[in-house]
Amino acid sequence: SLRSRASFKLLELIKAQPQLIRKGGKVLDLGAAPGGWTQVAVAAVSRDGVENLMKGGRFVGPNGDTESMHVEGEPVGLFDEDIDEGESVEEVKFANHVDNGGRVVAVDLLPMDPIPGAQIVMGDMTEASTQESVIQLCGGKVDVVLSDMAHSFTGTRSADVIRVMDLCKTAFSVAERVLKVNGNFVCKFIRGEDDGELKDMLQQRFRIVNFDKPMASRRESAEAYLICLEYTGAQKASED
Ligand code: SAM
């Protein structure tokens, strides 16, 4: 079954941008515990893709409602108020066997239970040594870098905004080292005064940069995602 409500956020992002994660692709998933995005990423790179997860009937909420998250424009209280973490989902069938070249590397500070089809690393992505071993484990460039990294909130909004922004910058600097040209990058951030600066930075490296707040994300939360498509490559120092 799906491990966290967070799965639905990534499913929604994929639904809005079907080209985000391709079958047979390589994905680096940062801030992955307990593994909701990792499970979706494994499905997305597998032969079957996420179609099984997207279909109504696979996800059954407490009132038997299977459709709500898929209805465009309708506010969905379903995942925010009605379902507690951990009790959310039943009987989602995963394509566990990634035998088409697809690959998922998942990293977190916290330990994670194994997910078939994913390689799990425990470590702090702000540390150079973790970055090195993760990049090595990827075994070459990847198609997608996902970051849902967030710390426990301090309660001081300005401090939280800055800390999440720092994690975005960490994720972006890793992406700059490991992303294929035309690869994609997704990053959680919190709306704040610095939005523009981050977006400017990303727009210099990706052809398309969008903000998205999935409906599965708590409405009252300020969290949102930056969806960056078609990496243009890090700036070259000089051609000659
Ligand atoms: N995407 C996950 C899922 O679908 O289950 C939920 C991720 S949760 C919102 C944020 C995660 O970021 C936490 O598990 C936290 O441990 C991790 N994190 C925060 N700072 C990190 C860092 N410096 N390096 C690695 N992981 C980090």
CATH number, domain of 39, equals 3.40.50.150
Decide which of 1 and 234 is more confident: 234
What is the total count of domains within the chain? 1
Instruction: Tell whether 238 is covered by a domain.
Output: no
Burial degree of 232 (CB within 10 A; 0-12, 13-18, 19+):
exposed
Establish if 132 belongs to a structural domain.
Answer: yes
Assigned domain for 240 exists: no
Residues 172-199 have pLDDT tens digits of 999 999 999 999 999 998 877 777 888 8
Look at residue 140 and tell me if it is in a domain: yes
CA proximity to 27, closest of 13, 48, 49, 44:
44
Range of the domain at 44: 6-231
Task: Determine which one of 188, 199, 213, 236 is catalytic.
Answer: 188
Going from the Cα of 125 to the center of ligand 1, the distance in angstroms, rounded, reads 10
Pocket test for ligand 1, best of 53, 105, 108, 223 (most atoms within 8 A of CB): 108
Asked whether the beta carbons of 24 and 102 are under 8 A apart, the reply is: yes
- Asked whether residue 24 is assigned to any structural domain, the reply reads yes
The answer to whether position 118 is within a domain reads yes
Check whether 121 has a pLDDT greater than 60.
yes
Confidence bin at 98 (pLDDT 50/70/90) = low
| 150 Cα: distance to centroid of ligand 1 (angstroms) | 5
Over residues 64-96, the pLDDT tens digits come to: 334 334 333 333 332 233 333 443 433 344 444
207 is a domain residue:
yes
Q: To the nearest whole number, what is the mean pLDDT of the chain?
A: 80
Is 188 among the catalytic positions? yes
Q: How many CB atoms lie within 10 A of CB 181?
A: 10
| Residue linked to tokens 């599965």 | 216
Q: What percent of the chain has pLDDT over 90?
A: 51
pTM score of the predicted model: 0.85
- Within a domain: 191: yes
Task: Decide: 149 in ligand 1 pocket, CB within 6 A.
Answer: yes
Q: Contact 199/160 with Cβ under 8 angstroms? A: no
**pLDDT tens for each residue of 210-233:** 988 887 777 767 788 999 999 999
Give residue 17 CA to ligand 1 midpoint distance, Å.
23
pLDDT of 237 reads 52
